[in-house]
Amino acid sequence: MRGERNTRFFSRLWMALVFGFLYLPIVSLVVYSFTDSSVPNVWGGFSLRWYQALAMDSDLKEGLWLSLKIATSTATAAVILGSLAAASLHRFPHFFGRTLFSGMVSAPLVMPEVIVGLSLLLMLVSLQRLLGVPERGMVTIWLGHLLVGMAYATVVIQARLRDLNPQLEEAAQDLGAKPWQVFFLVTIPMIAQALLSAWLLTFTLSLDDVVLSAFLSGPGATTMPLVIFSRARLGLNPSVNAIATVVVVIVAIGVSIASYMLAQKERRRSREIAAAQRFK
Amino acid sequence: MTGTWKPGSRAAVIGVPFFWLTVFFLLPFMLVLRISLAQMDGALVTPLLTFSEEVLTVRIHLTSFVQLVTDDLYFATYLVSVKYALITAVICLAIGYPFAYFMSRSEHRWQPALLMGVMLPFWTSFLIRVYAWKSLLEPNGWVGAPIHASGIDEVLAFLGMIASPEQLMYSPFSLVLGMVYTYLPFMVLPLYATLSKMDLRLIEAAQDLGATPWQAFWRITVPLSKSGIVAGFMLVFIPCVGEYVIPELLGGPETLMIGRVLWDEFFSNNDWPMASAVAVVMILVIIVPIAIFGRNQDHAQEAS
């Protein structure tokens, strides 16, 4: 039994080390955002000066605002397009060009971002020469994010559709529901969790993206990651720590609200299942 | 299946995303291919087809590709990219496999929390987390100071991972560290997925038949988790080849990677055909790993 205890000790140690590795940078960012020194890795006592600096920093604030706008519209559009794509692949096993379609849906997942960015930009520039639109800026960044976000959304939603019990939809139809009623009253509520995860995932991806935004942005459309990236390239910058902490807090709140809602829903569902089984 | 979709709505469900992807993914892609076969002509690229005096001319310039092959810089850069992507994937596997294994064998009620713990860093900006390593690796940073104090810096310098013991940043070491850090969850998640689905009775059976735990691990557990290993490896390797942000923030002069070359060709040299040719060859480099990954996913799906 000593071997087993050693194994358990080793497994705990390994997991602790890996979690330490994963969380160390986040912890250090948050800690040093409160330092009173102008070098962000020297502890000079507690202060909020970098948050004050952040409040005055119009580049970062405007960048954050623009990024939030793009991320929200990206996530919403990606979930809609992703649902359609996932439904096509799930519902219709045969249609013209299905192989091409499924390849195109998943390709942006593995394609290096520099290539996606370059190809979209070349097309938009050519289009602009022909038609005069679109101007490079928020909309073009949104297009790029949507392309990648849609791929992620499709994967998440498709996985959930695969796990669904098709009998529930058939039952609804047998009871007289029209296809769109089945979709909105049966399918959507059952995949709501996947839709929410897909939305959150694409939102974060968009909020975080540097490469696509750099290719597709125009004058006056500098997203928050672009501001951070250009400052981080030059060296350490304490206001980056402050904005990082703000982002970490926003995300932490968002994720906890989402997981609380999902847990509630799960609990309600298992209660309902238990209640239904009592009537058997 | 739910059969009575009207043909109109069926066409809309398929058509909208299909059209979207054709316009914004396939078409741009074709354009890259086409531009890679052109030359810059002022601010424009040379046309592929010209028609004059009843002669239709197709003009394919192979200039960019010839330059790619003959200029050693490009070849060396592709090699460097593949090399660091491979090193990163191997280290991720070495760290991630035991981790995913222990995770899948820990108490069931803890597993969702552990999984959440792996995913949570995903939700905070990757850019900011990579940036954080810059200050951690400074000589007085949380990671840099212990490395210098313990003499590991000498070992790293001896291995050629850093140029001199004083400087951890902007080196192959900091680059690989940043990439391992960023892509580790992509290794852990597919590994955990296969390991947690595994039928533990197989291991009991092996041990009943006289295998030591170590033998059972190598001859049962590892082969059964092959699809997770392949998936994780490819999910780390493929994006690392084209990585731009991490080498830019943490890498140094000797870690010039192909993503940066593409970027420079486009933004600094304004050479669209060259940037496109670099992209086309990059796709050729990763197409085999992508195919392996795709096949592996199909097999895994059939098996489940």
Show the domain range for A196: 58-235
Predicted complex ipTM? 0.86
Evaluate whether residue A143 is within a structural domain.
yes
Nearest-Å Rg of the Cα atoms of chain A is 24
Report the residue from A113, A182, A207 with minimal CB separation from B244. Answer: A113
pTM of the model: 0.87
Q: Alpha helix locations (H) across chain B? A: 7-21, 27-36, 63-70, 72-105, 111-123, 126-136, 144-150, 152-158, 172-197, 201-208, 213-216, 222-224, 226-241, 245-250, 258-267, 272-303
Query: Helix or strand or coil: residue A191?
Result: helix
Dist CA A151 CA A165 (whole Å): 24
Looking at the structure, tell me whether residues B137 and B188 fall in a common domain: yes
- Asked whether the bond before B28 is cis by omega within 30 degrees of 0, the reply is no
Contact B189, B245 (CB under 8 A): no
Nearest chain B alpha carbon to A14? B99
Q: Are residues B18 and B97 in the same domain?
A: no
How would you write the pLDDT of chain A (280 residues) with one tens digit per residue? 556 778 888 999 999 999 999 999 999 888 888 888 777 677 878 888 888 888 888 888 899 899 999 999 999 999 999 999 998 888 888 888 888 888 888 888 888 899 999 999 998 888 888 887 778 889 999 999 999 999 999 989 988 888 888 888 888 888 888 888 887 888 888 888 889 889 988 998 898 899 999 999 988 889 999 998 988 888 777 788 888 888 888 877 877 787 787 778 778 877 887 887 776 5
- Do B47 and B86 lie in one domain? The reply is no
Give the Cα separation of B106 and A12 in Å (integer). Answer: 9
The reply to whether A4 falls in a domain is no
Q: What is the arithmetic mean of pLDDT over B163-170?
A: 84
- What pLDDT was estimated at residue B160? 81
- In 3D space, the residue among B199, B14, B134, B234 whose CA is nearest the CA of residue A92 turns out to be B14
Distances (CA, A) of B62 to B37, B67, B77, B274: 6, 9, 20, 10
Quote the pLDDT of residue B2: 45
| B112 and B256 part of one domain | yes
Q: Same domain for B152 and B222?
A: yes
Range among A99-103, A168-172, B124-128, B186-190 with highest mean pLDDT value: B186-190
* Domain containing residue B148: 71-303
Same domain membership, residue B82 and residue B57:
no
Same domain (yes/no): B38, B152 = no
The residue assigned the tokens 């090699």 is B79
In a domain, A102, yes or no: yes
**C-alpha distance from B266 to closest chain A C-alpha (Å):** 8
Who among A119, A166, A211 is closest to B245 (CB)? A211
- pLDDT (0 to 100) of residue B5: 59
Please tell me whether residues B12 and B109 are part of one structural domain: no
Going by C-alpha positions, the residue among B257, B249, B244, B248 that lies closest to residue B135 is B249
Question: How close A273 gets to chain B, by Cα (Å)?
Answer: 22
Report if residue A192 sits inside a domain.
yes
Q: Helix A238-278 to helix A2-32 angle, to the nearest 10 degrees?
A: 130
pLDDT value of position A72: 95
**Would you say residue B133 lies in a domain?**
yes
Q: What is the pLDDT of residue A56?
A: 87
B7-11 mean pLDDT: 75
Cβ within 8 Å, pair A118-B276: yes
| Chain A interface includes B259 (CB < 8 A) | yes
Q: Answer whether residue B127 shows pLDDT above 80.
A: yes
The confidence score (pLDDT) of residue B279 equals: 94
Of B24, B44, B63, which residue sits at a domain end? B63
Contacts of B105 in chain A (CB under 8 A): 11
Mean pLDDT of B222-233: 92
pLDDT at A186: 84
Residue A125, domain member (yes or no): yes
Rg (CA), chain B: 25
The pLDDT of residue B1 is above 50: no
In a domain, B276, yes or no: yes
- Residues B76-97: pLDDT tens digits? 999 999 999 999 999 999 999 9
Helix, strand, or coil here: A115? helix
Q: How far is B194 from chain A (nearest CA, A)?
A: 16
Query: Which of the listed residues B15, B32, B63 is the one where a domain comes to its end?
Result: B63
pLDDT of amino acid A53:
85
Report if residue B2 sits inside a domain: no
Average pLDDT over residues B189-202: 89
What is the token pair recorded at A154?
A: 């499709």
Averaged pLDDT of chain B = 87
CB contact under 8 A, B14 and A88: yes
Best mean pLDDT range from B45-49, B129-133, B199-203: B129-133
CATH number at residue A117: 1.10.3720.10
Domain CATH for B157: 1.10.3720.10
What is the rounded distance in angstroms from the CA atom of residue B139 to the CA atom of residue B304?
49
Chain A contact present for B238, CB below 8 A: yes
- The verdict on residue B265 lying in a domain is yes
> According to the model, what pLDDT value does residue A151 have?
92
- Judge whether B1 lies within some domain: no
Domain count, chain A: 1
Indicate whether B225 and B123 sit together in one domain. Answer: yes
Number of domains in chain B: 2
pLDDT grade for B4, boundaries at 50, 70 and 90: low
**Cα dihedral across residues A101, A104, A105, A107: positive or negative:** positive
CA A240 to chain B, closest CA, distance in angstroms equals 8
Instruction: Supply the pLDDT for residue A199.
Output: 92
